[in-house]
């Protein structure tokens, strides 16, 4: 069954264990030649299978080394080759074109050409703008991404940089991501970036290696401000449990971005998000929190987006609380009051057009605050650490969270969450406003 929020994306007939993407990209003409090798594990017996691909042209498909017939239509490629459960296949897709964002309900998503380089913002269905895929977060895969691009630019992708090799005026970058990842989190960031460790400054160093990539002229400012991520990482590990990956990086682009972007295990900020202000800090905290909530523990259906955004939003309030800026209850009161003035929505089914609406973020955070108020800090944070441990690198649902809440906090506890999750109206503020 396809996801009702994105019925044209993804397939339930198979999963992809690994993507090997070989990208040859020329910046000036925005020309991409790609070879994608997919290690496919069939889940259903079908006579053909569908790959998501938007705006690019497939030239050849091979299945287990043999040429396969295919048909390309807007947004997808149908490969005329049978799949049988228990019999893995290797599909190689050769394709090319001028990649561009896909226009949709949530604006432009996917591969975006910048004045100097490239930015990829894949959520929720932008992965198909640069590689053929099974584009749904329930299908998490490992990745190897090889990028051949102009040597004037750094090419950054997911995971660990395993090698670079210069070939005349071009350089090959190989990135390896051996932790399962949703396709929308796969990314390529190309630009005139300097890369190096993020120094802790005056903060206690994180046990997790932190890295920074940005232009030379942004380097000092970004280092100075983003050093607080060392403290942030320490606070979040205490609250949420061990960081679920082996490193964390931030790319600061040259161009201003409307919103920051999360990927795995990195985030993408604009220079407008780097500055000494609460607005900048909360966004940095939000993106870091997504490494636990959304990237490691991933949703199963897009209607459960609150599991990503509500948790990341509440993490902003927890960060403010940890540094003595303002208690989470203060943020909760303010945003409850603002939500009271707006039409409300059902948190677990906001509808596809509204799944990234700010009301989902804030109502989700308020649901968590209500639970914390009811059970107390010890049980609440034990629940969060148990959640991130139980579903580490896996997919989960709201039902899973409610089940775990009863197990950790006591039978019947999830009744506190029910009105926040399943009723359209806004419940009373937990504990009263005064």
- Residues 323 and 415 reside in one and the same domain: yes
On whether both 260 and 286 belong to a single domain, the answer is yes
pLDDT of residue 433: 61
Q: List the Cα angle 229/267/146 in 5-degree steps.
A: 130
* Average pLDDT of the chain to the nearest whole number: 96
CA end-to-end distance (rounded Å), the chain: 47
What is d(CA 287, CA 23) in angstroms, rounded to the nearest whole number? Answer: 27
* Residue 79 near residue 63, CB atoms below 8 Å: yes
Q: Does the residue 130 lie in any domain? A: yes
291 Cβ contact list (under 8 Å, min separation 6) = 243, 244, 245, 248, 262, 264, 265
Instruction: Judge whether 353 lies within some domain.
Output: yes
Residues 232 and 353 in one domain: no
Q: Domain for residue 431, yes or no?
A: no
The CATH number given to whatever domain includes residue 354 is 1.10.390.10
Sheet with strand 170-181: strands edge to edge: 66-67, 57-63, 89-97, 31-42, 14-26, 141-150, 170-181, 160-167
Give the Cα-Cα-Cα angle 278, 279, 283 (nearest 5 degrees).
Answer: 110
Residue 29's pLDDT is 94
Does residue 5 lie in a domain region?
Answer: no
The pLDDT of residue 179 is: 98
Q: Are residues 183 and 211 in the same domain?
A: no
Whether residues 182 and 229 share a domain: the answer is no
Contact yes or no for 101/123 (Cβ under 8 A): no
pLDDT on residue 230: 98
Asked if residue 56 and residue 101 are part of one domain, the reply reads yes
Domain closes at, from 189, 204, 228: 189
Q: Is residue 154 part of a domain?
A: yes
Q: pLDDT value at position 276?
A: 83
Q: What is the pLDDT of residue 374?
A: 96
Residue 81 counted as domain residue: yes
The verdict on residue 7 lying in a domain is: no
Q: Are residues 322 and 267 in the same domain?
A: no
The Cα–Cα gap between 301 and 397 comes to: 8
Domain final position from 150, 172, 189: 189
CATH number of residue 111's parent domain:
2.60.40.1730
The residue among 246, 177, 257, 162 whose CA lies nearest residue 214 is 257
Question: How would you write the pLDDT of the chain (434 residues) with one tens digit per residue?
Answer: 689 999 999 999 999 999 999 999 999 999 999 999 999 999 999 999 999 999 999 999 999 999 999 999 999 999 999 999 999 999 999 999 999 999 888 888 999 999 999 999 999 999 999 999 999 999 999 999 999 999 999 999 999 999 999 988 999 999 999 999 999 999 999 999 999 999 999 999 999 999 999 999 999 999 999 999 999 999 999 999 999 999 999 999 999 999 999 999 999 999 999 988 889 999 999 999 999 999 999 999 999 999 999 999 999 999 999 998 889 999 999 999 999 999 999 999 999 999 999 999 999 999 999 999 999 999 999 999 999 999 999 999 999 999 999 999 999 999 999 999 999 999 999 876 64
Q: Is residue 381 in a domain?
A: yes
Are residues 279 and 331 located together in one domain of the fold?
A: no
Report residue 110 as tokens: 């996917």
Q: Does one domain contain both 38 and 151?
A: yes
pLDDT at residue number 296: 98
Q: Report the distance separating Cα 289 and Cα 222, nearest Å.
A: 19
Asked if 132 and 148 sit in the same domain, the reply is yes
pLDDT at 432: 67
Which has the closest alpha carbon to 12: 54, 45, 53, 57?
A: 45
Q: Does one domain contain both 322 and 173?
A: no
Please count the other Cβ atoms lying within 10 Å of the Cβ belonging to residue 380: 20
Q: Is 117 exposed, middle or buried (0-12, 13-18, 19+ CB in 10 A)?
A: buried
Residues 387-391: contacts with CB within 8 Å, 24+ apart? 387/297, 388/240, 388/241, 388/244, 388/292, 388/293, 388/296, 388/297, 389/241, 391/296, 391/297
How many structural domains does the chain have?
3
Q: Do both 371 and 395 map to the same domain? A: yes
> Structural domain of residue 403, as residue ranges?
298-422
How is 249-307 classified by DSSP, letter by letter?
Answer: EEEE-SS--SS-EE-SSEEEE-GGG-SSSHHHHHHHHHHHHTTTBTTTEEESSGGGTHH
CB 99 within 8 A of CB 110: yes
- Domain boundary, last residue among 291, 319, 354: 291
């Amino acid at each position: 069954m396809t996801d009702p929020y994105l019925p044209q994306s993804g397939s339930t007939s198979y999963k992809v264990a690994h993507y090997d993407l070989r990208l040859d990209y020329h910046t000036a003409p925005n020309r991409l030649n790609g070879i994608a090798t997919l290690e496919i594990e069939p889940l259903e017996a079908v006579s053909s299978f569908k790959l998501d691909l938007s705006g690019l042209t497939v030239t050849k498909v091979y299945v287990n080394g043999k040429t396969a017939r295919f048909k390309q239509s807007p947004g997808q490629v149908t490969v005329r080759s049978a799949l049988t459960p228990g019999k893995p296949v290797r599909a190689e897709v050769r394709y090319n074109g001028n990649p561009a964002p896909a226009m949709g309900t949530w604006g432009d998503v996917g591969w975006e050409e910048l004045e100097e380089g490239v930015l990829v913002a894949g959520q929720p269905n932008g992965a198909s703008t640069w590689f053929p895929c099974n584009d749904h977060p329930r299908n998490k895969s490992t990745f190897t991404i090889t990028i051949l691009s102009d040597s004037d630019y750094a090419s950054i992708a997911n995971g660990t940089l395993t090698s670079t090799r210069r070939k005349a005026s071009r350089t090959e970058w190989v990135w390896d991501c051996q932790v399962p990842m949703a396709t929308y989190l796969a990314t390529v960031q190309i630009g005139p970036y300097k890369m190096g460790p993020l120094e802790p400054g005056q903060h206690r160093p994180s046990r997790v290696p932190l890295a920074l990539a940005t232009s030379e002229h942004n380097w000092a400012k970004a280092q100075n401000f983003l050093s607080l991520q060392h403290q942030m990482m320490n606070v979040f590990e205490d609250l949420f449990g061990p960081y679920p990956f082996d490193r964390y990086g931030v790319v600061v682009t040259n161009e201003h971005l409307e919103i920051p972007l999360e990927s795995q295990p990195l985030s993408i900020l604009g220079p407008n998000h780097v500055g000494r202000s609460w607005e900048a800090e909360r966004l940095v905290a939000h993106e870091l929190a997504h490494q636990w909530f959304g990237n490691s523990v991933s949703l199963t259906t897009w209607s459960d987006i609150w599991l990503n955004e509500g948790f990341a939003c509440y993490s902003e309030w927890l960060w403010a609380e940890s540094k003595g800026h303002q208690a989470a209850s203060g943020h909760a009161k303010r945003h409850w009051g603002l939500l009271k003035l707006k039409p409300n929505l059902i948190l677990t089914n906001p509808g596809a057009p509204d799944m990234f609406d700010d009301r989902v973020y804030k109502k989700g955070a308020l649901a968590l605050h209500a639970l914390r108020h009811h059970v107390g800090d010890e049980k609440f944070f034990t629940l969060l650490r148990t959640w991130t441990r139980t579903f580490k690198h896996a997919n989960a649902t709201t039902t899973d969270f409610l089940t775990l809440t009863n197990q950790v906090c006591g039978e019947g506890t999830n009744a506190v969450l029910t009105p926040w999750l399943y009723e359209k109206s806004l419940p009373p503020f937990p504990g009263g406003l005064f």
